């Protein structure tokens, strides 16, 4: 499906999932309604559609093309199948998804994978704030599945995360892994301040630099390597545990080589 | 000349209600108050005031009739696919209710200035709750008052004299109270405090973390945190632990520095933690006199306190996407109505750029910067001076603001103007 | 507008009508003897149940703490929303619904009168602001007095007449309806960080006990002739072993009773009927409470039934909420209100498999089933503390069907079954008893003479349910009961059709009742200036600004107090 004209007002993309489109003919799909701003519009008004649908969601591959920066909630609650987005995409990609795969060949906005419980999201670009977080007030972020961002992510990646894995190819901003309750975050690049704040469980691995470690994390040991989802990652790593103020059992694996300014913490090794 | 007592001040979130205003020939001639903000509000409100509806013709703002202005605003809203209705903090709850009704009717987004001020506080509350009290409790019992990231001497001038450290309460005299200020620089409030802690910019979170650790008797493996020597942090922790009733007031120093809502997360959970040892409460220093009211009204009518999106016919709340700054920065909206606020003066550059590139209507008694950029301007009355109305104090106490003088001929209140717009919107929608 | 509801099975306990086929005539908002069938709109409600509109005397629907609940639970709302349509404004549920949704959902249940049972006087302008916005239902609010400095000081100094004058002034000034007491003295103690207050223990720095406080207010209530008894939430709520406090409290005012009018209403007793020494040993003492209530006509109660699922607890009992927060370690809101009272809000999920919750669930139903006189026990969930009011029909089905109860009992922990009495109770409510407990009796105890019945002169607040009492056996067909009561076939308010087949068709403004109380002028002339003086010392608002003007109420419906009965 190719977007005809990038919309000026936000388009509701919830309808764009294999679950919703499976078992419908192209004509039926064109007649499905969604919102552009407060107007009800048919998909035919927004998109041109080619190809064929499938009867089973797991067999359906939806390819979206164009500037989709103002299309929100694409892939919401999807349970199977694949969506490939060729272009920049709007907020809440993969909102509360439980299965299937979403690939974004471009930049994603904020709230990628909010409330996710399963499936895979791959962003071959940058992503915005709060990747893998949860709806406000739920105190529960991503529970399962895999999110991979090749580029950078914004602040608060993995906020309230309970399970699953987030891999970041580039850098992450402040509060990476804040309020984490489980799962794994892997950052190949640098992270911002307040890493792992208020974490109670889970694991964060950082190959790049971290400006400081909160006073509520104690150094545990120096490890030569670690594993992320079975993949061996070469260290050596400073291993910190915390957040002490939450009675936490979370672990931070910080590259020794890139973080010599943390060397003074070695004095506190038992 | 007559004197009107117990007048509420339409100034800051302290909402002092004991002002004495002297009126002669429908003009305010004198105000008995020790607060500069209050005096200015009552004596200068008429300065740079707009009294004519205006419409932009050939690039210039020209006078027009109220009917014409209302018609244009109504059309603008009905034609828009995603209108933004923003502001709301400097007007009455009655007007805010009309705003909600209008936003619902036109399927737009309604947001108030919380979004740039204490939005993070609300987000913190949504994750953790809110151990708080009314201001009279502070007056009655507090023996430790902490001002964190705020400067009441400048922004809430009577706060300490009326509510916290400089007043006698049932159980506490001023001598029995201690004041602590935590800020990035020595503010006027800090100069008179018992303890001033200078925190490194953007490291309030680290400082609160250190406090939590000390309260839990955990070792801090550093000499200093956030630029504060650990001994000083220990001093503060001890003050907090050993008081009988502690109060933490906080402001934009926490909400708008790095971390934002995570800073408030930290502050709220710190206060929850402190309740294990002693009685402690927290309260945001709300800036505008009725921004609290905007949150309250929006919450009971829609379930959410700000950033409410009605485009799908029911209230949706996704702050970071439905918040005004984000709506504007992403260029979502295609029209804006601004009521009782001045976003052009306050919002980030990108947001303002988009704001001015789309149809813009303003309802405001002043010619604000936003009004100068608008396509339609409708003048309104001043709540609390020319108009009665409900307002909510920073601690959630609702009070009725008085009408002191009559407004100029032909000027209606925000609520009345919104009502006219709403009626016209409904007619236009029926016609479509 | 004239209506004739024909051929329905009417249940009207006040007028002793029990499922009789009768026509109900409505004219100008009232029930009348008859109408001209040729002129009136005739609605055939053949084979349906016709009852007076529901009267809920205890439901947290408006005010500061309710709004805190709404504000800090966006997750409660985002999956339960209502789209704007026709006369219906949009809104959200689930346990803390927005105001429009509250009114609509109550009307759909066939309820037409709902009272907010706890408002801090200082924040009552807020309560009225919200009540004004709740469509359709008639409402009122109960100001809190049980931790009020003026009240405690005057009772301590044995100045009961002055206390009465203060209460009278406060009630009419902020437009309240009844004296509400929550955790007497306990919230004041909590303001010093103390989390437990015993009934016979001195309140810190005030020199009186809750017992003296409650007795004082019961006397004041009589002096002022308020239509509703003192509405009391006991000390030690939620604490294992607290049934003893409840018994003590009820007995403490027994000697003050005169005639057969109840003088004390204890609310959501389920939370106060616990045995055991800790939560592991929690047990039911509903039988002891029921026994006392059966033998002593001076008290009424409402049950506060628990519903399994997610909900929000909210109460003026700040210390209790702090303790709950420590148990659950989730979110916690607290708001102490100067001079007067406090509040706390904590979300909770009641789980069938949780021993404590299961025992609580049993206790509420035991109370309703063991207390013999349906005129003195009322069905509530203490919305939203036990569960959302939208679940009332589920409670009805449990009360009317042992089979429905057994279905749940099968799935709760065995030990919870063993330590409670519910499994051994066979009693099943009839439609008649249901109508008493949810309409007739609640209207009566509130002193609302025109509500809760369908006699001539009553307000035409009528609920019609699509269930045939002659054919349906609620004992076995409890699912039908639940379905029928979840969506009224017809709800009428003041003679106007509000709900048609479960849909809202009109949303007029409802009344706000309040009692225009007065004390003898000579006493008021002494007390009010004294109160004014103390205002400056105690409060942070001006005396003048404390008032809620009558014009503030969308539809003010003042009630005159009854003839005061002597001391």
Task: Give residues 158 to 197 of C whose Cβ lies within 8 Å of B.
Answer: 191-193
How long, in residues, is chain A? Answer: 270
Q: Does A215 touch chain B (CB under 8 A)?
A: yes
Q: Identify the closest residue of chain A to B215 by CA–CA distance.
A: A245
Cβ within 8 Å, pair C331-A135: no
CATH number at residue B373: 3.40.50.740
Mean pLDDT of B247-266: 92
Q: Does C123 touch chain B (CB under 8 A)?
A: yes
Q: Identify the closest residue of chain A to C329 by CA–CA distance.
A: A246
Alpha-carbon distances of C343 from C69, C124, C130, C334, rounded to whole Å: 11, 13, 17, 6
Residue C564's pLDDT is 59
Mean pLDDT of B33-44: 92
Cis bond leading into C209, ω under 30°?
no
Q: How far is A216 from chain B (nearest CA, A)?
A: 7
**Do the beta carbons of residue C561 and residue C179 sit within 8 Å?**
no
pLDDT tens digits along C259-291: 878 999 999 999 999 999 999 999 999 999 999
* Beta-ladder partners of C315: C344
Mean pLDDT of C70-98: 96
Contacting residues of C for B294, CB less than 8 Å apart? none
Q: How far is B178 from chain C (nearest CA, A)?
A: 18
Q: Tell me the C-alpha distance between C397 and C404, whole Å.
A: 7
pLDDT tens digits along B187-201: 999 999 999 999 999
The CA-based angle C338-C344-C350, given to 5 degrees, is: 170
Give me the residue from C98, C332, C336 closest to B272, CB to CB.
C332
Q: Does C332 touch chain A (CB under 8 A)?
A: no
* Phi, psi torsion values for C565, nearest 5 degrees: -95, 140
Cβ–Cβ pairs < 8 A, chains A and B: 111
Statement to judge: residues B77 and B167 lie in one domain: no
pLDDT tens digits along C430-465: 999 999 999 999 999 999 999 999 999 999 999 999
Q: Tell me the C-alpha distance between C218 and C197, whole Å.
A: 20
Q: Is the pLDDT of residue C563 over 80?
A: no
Q: Does B82 touch chain A (CB under 8 A)?
A: yes
Using CB atoms, list chains with 3+ pairs below 8 Å to chain A: B, C
Contacting residues of A for B319, CB less than 8 Å apart? 136
Write down which residue in B284, B309, B341 finishes a domain. Answer: B284
CATH number at residue B179: 3.40.228.10
The one-character DSSP state at C440 is: I
Domain that holds residue B109: 50-117+289-431
Cβ within 8 Å, pair C71-B315: no
Statement to judge: residues B60 and B123 lie in one domain: no
Task: Give residues 368 to 427 of C whose Cβ lies within 8 Å of B.
Answer: none
Domain boundaries, chain A: 1-109, 125-270
Q: Identify the closest residue of chain C to A140 by CA–CA distance.
A: C75
Write down which residue in B243, B266, B284 finishes a domain. Answer: B284
Q: How far is C76 from chain A (nearest CA, A)?
A: 8
Statement to judge: residues B300 and B426 lie in one domain: yes
Contacting residues of A for C330, CB less than 8 Å apart? 139
Cβ within 8 Å, pair B314-C92: yes
Task: Give residues 117 to 146 of A whose Cβ lies within 8 Å of C.
Answer: 135-139
Tokens of B405: 């003088």
pLDDT tens digits along C142-189: 999 999 999 999 999 999 999 999 999 999 999 999 999 999 999 999
Contacting residues of A for C78, CB less than 8 Å apart? 135
Cβ within 8 Å, pair A197-B205: yes
Statement to judge: residues B133 and B233 lie in one domain: yes
Q: Does B225 touch chain A (CB under 8 A)?
A: yes
Q: Is the pLDDT of residue C565 over 70?
A: no
Residue C566's pLDDT is 42
Q: Does C567 touch chain A (CB under 8 A)?
A: no
Statement to judge: residues B382 and B280 lie in one domain: no
Q: How far is C78 from chain A (nearest CA, A)?
A: 9
Statement to judge: residues B127 and B101 lie in one domain: no
Residue C332's pLDDT is 97
Cβ within 8 Å, pair A137-C330: no
The number of domains in chain B is 3
Q: Does C341 touch chain B (CB under 8 A)?
A: no
Q: Tell me the C-alpha distance between B15 and B141, whole Å.
A: 21
Q: What is the pTM of this model?
A: 0.96
Q: How far is A151 from chain C (nearest CA, A)?
A: 31
Cβ within 8 Å, pair B312-A38: yes
Contacting residues of B for A178, CB less than 8 Å apart? 262
Q: Give every CB contact of residue C31 below 8 A, 6+ residues apart in sequence.
A: C24, C25, C454, C455, C456, C457, C458, C459, C460
Give me the residue from A92, A194, A243 closest to B259, CB to CB.
A194
Q: Does C46 touch chain A (CB under 8 A)?
A: no
Cβ within 8 Å, pair B300-C133: yes
Tokens of B410: 């032909």
Contacting residues of B for C77, CB less than 8 Å apart? 303-304, 315, 317
Q: How far is C95 from chain A (nearest CA, A)?
A: 14
Cβ within 8 Å, pair C78-A135: yes
Cβ within 8 Å, pair B136-C67: no
Q: Tell me the C-alpha distance between B316 and A157, whole Å.
A: 23
Give me the residue from B125, B313, B316 closest to C84, CB to CB.
B313
Alpha helices of chain A — where are they, by DSSP H? Answer: 18-21, 26-31, 43-46
Contacting residues of B for A38, CB less than 8 Å apart? 81-82, 106-108, 310-313
Q: Is the pLDDT of residue B215 over 50?
A: yes
Percentage of chain B beyond pLDDT 90 is 93
Q: Which of C75, C78, C85, C348 to mutate to test the interface with A (most CBs of A within 10 A)?
A: C75
Residue B431's pLDDT is 86
Statement to judge: residues B155 and B244 lie in one domain: yes
Cis bond leading into C500, ω under 30°?
no
Contacting residues of C for B133, CB less than 8 Å apart? 334-338, 342
Q: Which residues of chain A have pLDDT under 70?
A: none
Cβ within 8 Å, pair B216-A110: no
Q: How far is B180 from chain C (nearest CA, A)?
A: 21
List, edge to edge, every strand of the sheet that includes B279-284.
B195-198, B178-183, B144-148, B245-250, B279-284
Statement to judge: residues B369 and B384 lie in one domain: yes
Using CB atoms, list chains with 3+ pairs below 8 Å to chain B: A, C
Closest CA to C336 of C188, C232, C171, C146: C188
Q: Identify the closest residue of chain B to A177 by CA–CA distance.
A: B262
Residue C487 binned pLDDT confidence (cut-offs 50, 70, 90)? very high
Q: Does A264 touch chain C (CB under 8 A)?
A: no
Q: Is the pLDDT of residue C567 over 50?
A: no
Q: Which of A14, A137, A247 to mutate to test the interface with C (most CBs of C within 10 A)?
A: A137
**Do the beta carbons of residue B302 and residue C91 sit within 8 Å?**
yes
Contacting residues of C for B302, CB less than 8 Å apart? 90-92, 98
Cβ within 8 Å, pair C544-B5: yes
């Amino acid at each position: 499906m190719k977007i005809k004209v990038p919309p000026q007002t936000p388009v509701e993309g919830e309808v764009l999932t294999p679950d919703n489109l499976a078992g419908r003919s192209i004509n039926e799909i064109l007649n499905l309604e969604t919102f552009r701003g407060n107007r009800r519009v048919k998909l035919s008004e927004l998109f041109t559609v080619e190809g064929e649908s499938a009867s089973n969601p797991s067999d359906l591959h939806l390819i979206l093309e164009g500037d989709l920066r103002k299309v929100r909630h694409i892939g919401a609650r999807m349970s199977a199948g694949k969506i490939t987005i060729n272009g920049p995409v709007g907020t809440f990609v993969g909102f509360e998804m439980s299965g299937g795969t979403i690939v974004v060949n471009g930049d994603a906005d904020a709230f990628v994978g909010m409330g996710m419980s399963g499936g895979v999201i791959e962003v071959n670009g940058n992503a915005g704030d709060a990747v893998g977080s949860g709806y406000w007030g739920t105190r529960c972020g991503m529970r399962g599945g895999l999110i991979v961002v090749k580029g950078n992510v914004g602040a608060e990646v993995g906020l309230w995360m309970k399970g699953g894995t987030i891999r970041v190819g580039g850098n992450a901003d402040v509060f990476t892994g804040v309020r984490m309750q489980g799962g794994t975050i892997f950052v190949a690049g640098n992270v911002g301040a307040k890493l792992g704040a208020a974490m109670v469980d889970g694991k964060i691995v950082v190959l790049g630099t971290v400006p400081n470690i909160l006073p509520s994390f104690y150094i545990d040991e120096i490890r030569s390597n670690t594993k992320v989802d079975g993949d061996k990652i070469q260290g050596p790593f400073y291993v910190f545990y915390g957040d002490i103020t939450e009675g936490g059992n979370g672990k931070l694996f910080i590259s020794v080589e890139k973080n010599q300014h943390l060397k003074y913490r070695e004095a506190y090794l038992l | 000349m007559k004197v009107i007592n117990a007048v509420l001040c339409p100034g800051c979130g302290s909402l002092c209600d004991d002002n004495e205003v002297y009126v002669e020939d429908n003009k305010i001639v004198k105000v008995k108050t020790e607060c500069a903000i209050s005096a200015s509000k009552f004596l200068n409100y008429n300065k740079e005031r707009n009294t004519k509806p205006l419409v932009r013709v050939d690039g210039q703002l020209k006078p027009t009739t109220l009917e014409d202005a209302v018609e244009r605003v109504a059309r603008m809203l009905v034609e828009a696919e995603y209108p933004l209705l923003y502001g709301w903090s400097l007007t009455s709850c009655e007007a805010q209710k009309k705003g909600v009704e209008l936003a619902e009717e036109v399927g737009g987004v309604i947001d108030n200035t919380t979004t740039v001020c204490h939005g993070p506080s609300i987000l913190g509350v949504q994750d953790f709750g809110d151990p708080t009290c009314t201001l009279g409790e502070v007056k009655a019992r507090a023996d430790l008052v902490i001002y964190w990231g705020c400067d009441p001497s400048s922004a809430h001038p009577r706060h300490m004299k009326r509510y916290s450290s400089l007043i006698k309460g049932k159980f506490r005299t001023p001598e029995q109270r201690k004041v602590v200020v935590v800020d990035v620089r020595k503010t006027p409030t800090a100069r008179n405090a018992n303890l001033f802690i200078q925190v490194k910019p953007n490291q309030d979170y680290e400082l609160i973390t250190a406090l939590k650790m000390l309260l839990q008797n955990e070792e801090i493996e550093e000499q200093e945190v956030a630029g504060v020597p650990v001994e000083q942090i220990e001093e503060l922790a001890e003050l907090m632990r050993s008081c009988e009733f502690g109060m933490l007031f906080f402001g934009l120093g926490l909400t708008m520095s790095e971390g934002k809502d995570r800073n408030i997360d930290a502050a709220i959970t710190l206060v929850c933690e402190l309740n294990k040892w002693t009685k402690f409460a927290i309260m945001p220093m709300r800036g505008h006199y009725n921004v609290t009211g905007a949150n309250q009204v929006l919450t009971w009518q829609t379930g959410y306190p700000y950033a409410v999106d009605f485009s799908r016919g029911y209230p949706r709340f996704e702050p970071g996407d439905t918040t005004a700054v984000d709506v504007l920065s992403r260029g979502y909206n295609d029209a804006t109505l601004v009521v009782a606020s001045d976003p052009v003066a306050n919002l980030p550059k990108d947001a303002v750029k988009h704001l001015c590139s789309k149809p813009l209507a303003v309802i405001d008694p002043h010619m604000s910067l936003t009004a100068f950029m608008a396509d339609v301007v409708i003048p309104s009355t001043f709540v609390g001076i020319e108009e009665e109305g409900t307002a909510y104090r920073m601690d959630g106490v609702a009070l009725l603001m008085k009408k002191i003088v009559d407004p100029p001929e032909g000027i209606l209140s925000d609520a009345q103007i919104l009502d006219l717009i709403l009626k016209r919107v409904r007619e236009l929608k029926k016609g479509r | 507008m004239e209506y004739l509801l024909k051929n329905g099975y009417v249940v009207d306990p006040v007028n002793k009508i029990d499922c009789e086929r009768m026509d109900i005539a409505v004219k100008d908002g009232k029930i009348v003897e008859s109408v001209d069938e040729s002129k009136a709109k005739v609605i055939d409600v053949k084979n349906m149940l016709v009852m007076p509109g529901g009267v809920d005397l205890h439901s947290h629907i408006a005010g500061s703490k309710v709004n805190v609940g709404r504000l800090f639970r966006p997750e409660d709302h985002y999956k339960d929303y209502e789209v704007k349509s026709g006369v219906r404004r949009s809104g959200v549920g689930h346990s803390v619904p927005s105001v429009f949704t509250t009114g609509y959902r109550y009307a759909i249940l066939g309820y037409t009168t709902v009272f907010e049972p706890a408002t801090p006087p200082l924040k009552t302008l807020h309560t009225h602001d919200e009540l004004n916005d709740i469509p359709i239902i008639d409402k009122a609010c109960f100001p809190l007095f049980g931790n009020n400095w003026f009240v405690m000081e005057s009772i301590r100094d044995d100045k009961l007449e002055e206390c009465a004058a203060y209460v009278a002034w406060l009630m009419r000034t902020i437009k309240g309806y009844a004296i509400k007491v929550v955790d007497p003295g306990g919230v004041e103690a909590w303001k010093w960080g103390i989390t437990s207050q015993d009934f016979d223990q001195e309140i810190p720095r005030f020199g009186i006990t809750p017992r003296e406080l409650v007795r004082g207010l019961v006397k004041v209530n009589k002096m002022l002739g308020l239509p509703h008894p003192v509405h009391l939430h006991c000390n030690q709520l939620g604490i294992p072993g607290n049934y003893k406090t409840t018994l003590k409290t009820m007995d403490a005012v027994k000697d003050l009773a005169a005639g057969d009018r109840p003088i004390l209403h204890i609310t959501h007793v389920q939370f106060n009927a616990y045995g055991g020494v800790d939560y592991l040993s929690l047990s039911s003492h509903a039988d002891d409470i029921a026994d006392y209530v059966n033998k002593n006509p001076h008290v009424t109660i409402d049950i506060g039934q628990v519903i399994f699922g997610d909900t929000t607890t909210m109460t003026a009992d700040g210390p209790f909420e702090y303790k709950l927060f420590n148990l659950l370690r989730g979110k916690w809101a607290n708001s102490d209100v100067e001079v007067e009272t406090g509040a706390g809000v904590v979300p909770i999920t009641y789980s069938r498999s949780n021993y404590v919750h299961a025992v609580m669930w049993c206790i509420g139903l035991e109370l309703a089933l063991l207390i013999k006189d349906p005129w003195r026990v009322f069905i509530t969930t203490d919305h939203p503390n036990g569960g959302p009011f939208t679940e009332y029909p589920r409670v009805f089905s449990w009360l009317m069907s042992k089979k429905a109860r057994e279905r749940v009992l099968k799935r709760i922990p065995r030990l919870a079954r063993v330590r409670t009495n519910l499994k051994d109770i066979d009693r099943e409510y009839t439609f008649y008893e249901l109508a008493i407990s949810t309409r007739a009796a609640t209207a009566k105890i509130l002193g609302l003479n025109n509500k809760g019945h369908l006699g001539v002169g009553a307000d035409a607040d009528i609920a019609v349910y699509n269930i045939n009492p002659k054919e349906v056996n609620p004992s076995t067909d409890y699912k039908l009961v639940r379905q029928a009561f979840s969506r009224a076939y017809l709800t009428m308010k003041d003679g106007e059709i509000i709900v048609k087949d479960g849909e809202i068709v009109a949303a007029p403004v409802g009344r706000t009742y309040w009692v225009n109380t007065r004390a003898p002028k000579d006493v008021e002339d002494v007390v009010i200036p004294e109160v004014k003086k103390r205002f400056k010392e105690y409060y942070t608002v001006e005396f003048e600004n404390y008032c809620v003007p009558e014009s503030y109420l969308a539809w003010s419906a003042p009630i005159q107090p009854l003839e005061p009965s002597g001391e």
